[in-house]
Structure 1
Amino acid sequence: LTNNLTTPTENLNKPAPTGENYQLPITNYQLPITNIEANLNNLPPSRAAVYARINLAQSLIRLKQQNYPNARSELEIAQVLVAAIQQAKSLQDQQATSYALGIMGELYEVAQQRENAQEVTQQALFIAQKIDAKDIAYRWQWQMGRLLKQEGNIKGAIAAYTEAVNNLKSIRRDLSAVNPDVQFNFRDEVEPVYRQLVDLLLQSEPSQENLLQARNLIESLQLAELENFFRASCLDANPELIDKIVDKEDKAAAVIYPIILSDRIEVILKLPTQEKLRHYVADKSAVEVETLLEQLRKSLLDVTQTTQVKRQSQQLYDWLIRPIEAELANSKIKTLAFVLDGSLRNIPMAVLYDKQQQKYLVEKYAIAVAPGLQLLQPKPLRSQPLRALMGGIAEGREIEGRKFPPLGNVSLELERIQSEVTNSEELLNQTFTVSNLQNQLNSTNFSVVHIATHGEFSSNPEETFILTWNQLLKARDFDNLLRASNNQNLSNTIELLVLSACKTAQGDKRAALGLAGIAVRAGARSTLATLWSVDDQYATELISRFYQELKSGANKAEALQRAQLAVFANEKRPYFWASYVLIGNWL
């Protein structure tokens, strides 16, 4: 770069350069950008004008990073930022000044001028902290963390990243504190902070302290993701730490935390009554992992692809389970609880295939998925009589311009459940409306709510719904319905929510987020749901057997395992038995 960009403090006070020497030839994308710059220069000084310049500079930096043809030089981008900084200072707008300085620091980072980048970033951070703007400060702490990592100062980088994460947690608790001028993109501006810190903590041979911190970070990330999904707090019940459950309540259960990082999968294992966490690594890049998960997901949805399912899920088994087979056996583990990361949540762990023993994971263990380290306090269903509210739509419907075909086995499914749970109420077809559902939930304490109808889980809450007779019940409304009933009946928490015949949205890598969101926000201790819809005799048999096993005294994970194996005995193809996943407390 020219000297005009190498000394930050002196340049920030220089007038923004003008004149034809600073205009690039107008080609492809540059015509609109040149027009934008001309319009910006005509705007009167204001906060909006400052942020418009900052946003333009950010866009130009991204084009530069992507080696876009005829991308602007660092000097030209700096001139846009210098103008923004000068205007922000003239307006005495400290927020905008901090933000513009921070983006200038990012520009130096891209230009690999680390010393200048640190100096300007520190200025931006000082201002943000002085005005207690956590939503801006975390960005510059993150930026400092990256810069310190680049110079090999791992300890300093971890400290900077940790401060960034602490600010993000604080922002999450007080959504109203977020500066409306700074829009958050969760995947680009929040999630990478957590993952990059986990990456730093787990490099080489991590200490127990680092393993604990990394595990807690993934928990915080998942909670932040759910709260971003609902735009509301997700954990206001009395949670139970999962460690306490495996140490005291279920000493035959182990907890597995796979973490997908850019260049590897890190796996943390918690064994019962053992304070020391285990740790192992699979050297597979995130791209390779995501590709495999996408292929496996497609294979699972095709009833003819059982051979491919085995081949693909065998790789997952080798990455996640094979390194700990001996320890699981030595600890006499019967149940595996997974705290799943990213696209792993779209895959039922039951199908992981052990090629050596020629067995699926469900043939060896009962399986549950924990949405995080904290679960609602366990209260086994076997300690109380079941009382169920059942609802469903068997007939074809057309709602909000969408056609839903008939579900021929729903009536039989509810009938079979009634034979197992005699203390039950049924809302079928025309009677399965939101008002009827609400009235039932508010008037009676149900330990089980079983819903068999079309539904779809998506990473977008507006596209996550279950079908009632006359409307699509969206995620937030469904959640509010169940939570309202829990609040009215304070002595009653729904022990088990069953969502049968639902599916995760195709082509949405984060579709299971909608399922996890409903599971956590509904306030039920456990949720049993389908990742894809199977409307046939096997689904009916599986659900019926699940309730039989609950009645006989099995916990929820064991009941699901036995029900799946009962179907597996007659139908080996995973399409028919693997779609059910148990989320939350497995006892």
Structure 2
Amino acid sequence: MRYFLLWSLSLIFAMLSLNVPKSARSQSNYPSRYPDSNENHSRPPSSGGLDPFIILNLINSLSRSGNSDQQQVDLSPDIAEIRGQIGRLYFLLARQYAVQNQLPQACNALEKGYSAELEAYLRKRMRSLQPDSNDCYATEVDRISKLTGSPTALIYVTTSKGGLELIGVPPSSPNRPAGIFSRTRIGAKSLQEKFGIPLAQNNQTSGTPFRKVAYNVTTEDVDRVIIDFRNNLRDTSSEDFLPQSQQLYDWVVRPMEPELEKSQVKTLVFVMNGNLRVVPPAAFHDGKRYLIEKYAVTTIPSWQLTEPNHPDRALTPQILAMGLSESVEGWSPLPATKVEVETISSQVLVGKNFMNSSFTKDNLRSQTSSQNFGIIHLATHAKFVKQSPEESFIQFWGDRLQMNQISKMNLVTDLLTLSACETAVGQNLGLAGLAVDSGAKSVLASLWTVSDAGTAPLMIRFYRGLPTAPSKAIALQEAQLAFLHGEVTIKNNQILGIKGFPNIPFQVDTRGVDLKHPYFWSSFTLIGNWL
């Protein structure tokens, strides 16, 4: 029965690949046209593929064949494979709902798709932290906007052979006359003429979900740009990354600008699939400014796998800071981590630190079991590859902690920071899996290996602003802007410009380190509870 269902699933995927509605190719190198959302919604359901009920029936059949025990935690390879197929079906289901303008149903299907995808990757069942929503979590988005004082938008970005789709969930906007965009730098007319984005006329209700689609921007198009973007970012002496940075902005952000401007959004929460997980939206560029100059930016694995709670910022969090400065198991030394770990644990925040030979799994386990730490900071090598959790790890002194072992460490904390890790391109679920499976409410980690000379100042600046920032996302934005605007610098073997902090001795080789370049400040991404 299972093999018949999988065969049926393959047939459905093939049928949908033939039935995807497509528009004419753009004349630019990277297609960027977004049809009007009303035009998309008016398409008859048959033009978008199969009826949602057919997909739901197949999901239910696969679920029954691959899950006889709802209480089972660890999944066998066969069941994990079925969960992966169910995830793909949920993404297809979301597309069918979206075509029919049933956006709350589309959001719920996306949420289930992301959960099933992570279950397949981690080979364990995920516990949903939030129920389904009848408004794409717009009520929660509005609550959080008021709680933080930073109007927040939730944005689902999915790529497929059928195109790139955006579902945006803005907060309630302040009262203002219709048609007036006092903070919009590009008017509606120029948006339509320059980018081919027809705008609905006064028919967008504030605080309600909206959809944008570029049928001719496929996963392959996006992946090609992402690979070029990441490769070009590594050359800190040039701005060769800007064409890709601007293209990603045009695809992912620009179509939503009228709605974001209308609601005066200041924080963007992205839920993304594929290789979009391994690029920093903060470094997207609109032609004049980086995204981080307009918005605080964060990503989440999914809303249902995230618990956005606001910690008490009146209390300085206790930090457990650990790391490696010496070379171990063939890894290069990280000399700046000593300054990083000692400074943040004794001068910026209050806590304990363990370096080199005392940085062991046993020490981490004993410390976290005997004391509650608001932050766990690990300044060490880590790697997240695309294939499986078994191949992803965090390096300790003489040992490695595989990602499939992390849940056993019970790292219950508000923030887990990995300040020297690398995340590979290729459908990578490693950081999302870490955010869900580690026990931490949020994870701050680097997407590529940045010299520790550039990492230490960013970490110190981030933690310096964290206790008084409205959210972790805003604290990270402030640190990144301090780099970009040249407020934090390294000169004469000192870190300069940490707000309200004396110059920090820094006897580290800083040749070739230009902290203004996004290679240094945009590498770090915040995943999970951003509050």
Aligned residue number for residue 190 of structure 2: none
Distance change in 2, residues 1:381/1:315 (3 Å): farther
Contact 1:186 1:225 in 2 (8 A): no
Contact 1:141 1:163 in 2 (8 A): no
1:380, distance to aligned residue in structure 2 (A): 2.5
Distance 2:358 2:389 in 1: 25
**How many residues end up aligned between the 2 structures?**
432
2:318 corresponds to which of 387, 393, 416: 387
Letter in 2 for 1:391: M
Aligned residue number for residue 499 of structure 1: 418
Contact 1:450 1:497 in 2 (8 A): yes
Aligned residue number for residue 197 of structure 1: 93
CA RMSD of aligned residues (A): 3.0
Distance 2:292 2:370 in 1: 38
Q: The residue matched to 2:421 in structure 1 has which SS?
A: strand
Aligned residue number for residue 299 of structure 1: 232
Q: Are 2:160 and 1:258 equivalent residues in the alignment? A: no
1:246-395 matches, cutoff 5 A: 246-251=141-146, 252-273=151-172, 274=206, 276-282=208-214, 283-304=216-237, 306-355=238-287, 358-374=288-304, 375-395=306-326
Aligned residue number for residue 450 of structure 2: 534
1:400-479 matches, cutoff 5 A: 403-459=330-386, 460-479=388-407
Letter in 1 for 2:438: A
Distance 1:385 1:269 in 2: 34
Letter in 2 for 1:233: R
More off after superposition, 171-180 vs 417-426: 171-180
Contact 1:142 1:161 in 2 (8 A): no
Q: The residue matched to 1:353 in structure 2 has which SS?
A: coil
Distance 1:569 1:384 in 2: 30
1:244, distance to aligned residue in structure 2 (A): 4.3
Contact 1:453 1:466 in 2 (8 A): yes
Contact 1:557 1:586 in 2 (8 A): yes
Q: Are 2:457 and 1:545 equivalent residues in the alignment? A: no
Distance 1:323 1:314 in 2: 13
Distance change in 2, residues 1:330/1:181 (3 Å): closer
Letter in 1 for 2:284: L
Aligned residue number for residue 214 of structure 1: 106
Q: The residue matched to 2:354 in structure 1 has which SS?
A: strand
Distance 2:405 2:230 in 1: 29
1:501, distance to aligned residue in structure 2 (A): 0.6
Distance 2:363 2:258 in 1: 52
Select the structure of larger CA radius of gyration. 1
Aligned residue number for residue 164 of structure 1: 58
Distance 1:343 1:253 in 2: 24
Contact 2:80 2:120 in 1 (8 A): no
Q: What 5-or-longer segments of structure 2 have no aligned partner? A: 20-44, 173-205, 487-514
**Structure that is richer in helix per residue:** 1
1:343, distance to aligned residue in structure 2 (A): 0.7
Q: What 5-or-longer segments of structure 1 have no aligned partner? A: 1-94, 103-135, 487-493
Contact 1:368 1:586 in 2 (8 A): yes
Distance 1:334 1:411 in 2: 35
1:324, distance to aligned residue in structure 2 (A): 1.8
* Higher RCO (CA < 8 A, seq sep 6+): 2
Aligned residue number for residue 575 of structure 1: 519
Distance 1:474 1:177 in 2: 18
1:92-131 matches, cutoff 5 A: 95=1, 99=3, 102=4
Q: The residue matched to 2:457 in structure 1 has which SS?
A: helix
Distance 1:161 1:448 in 2: 43
Distance change in 2, residues 1:238/1:394 (3 Å): farther
Aligned residue number for residue 489 of structure 2: none
1:223 corresponds to which of 115, 125, 141: 115
1:317, distance to aligned residue in structure 2 (A): 0.6
Aligned identity (percent) is 35
Contact 1:240 1:376 in 2 (8 A): no
Distance change in 2, residues 1:177/1:168 (3 Å): farther
The alignment's TM-score, normalised by the length of structure 2, stands at: 0.74
Contact 1:259 1:341 in 2 (8 A): yes
Distance 2:77 2:121 in 1: 20
Distance change in 2, residues 1:267/1:173 (3 Å): farther
Contact 2:462 2:475 in 1 (8 A): yes
Contact 2:153 2:171 in 1 (8 A): yes
Distance 2:69 2:127 in 1: 14
Aligned residue number for residue 480 of structure 2: 564
Distance change in 2, residues 1:316/1:182 (3 Å): same
1:234, distance to aligned residue in structure 2 (A): 2.5
Letter in 2 for 1:390: A
The one-character-per-residue Cα deviations of 1:483-522 (angstroms, maximum 9, x if unpaired) are: 5xx4xxxxxxx111111111113xx4123x1111011111
The alignment's TM-score, normalised by the length of structure 1, stands at: 0.68
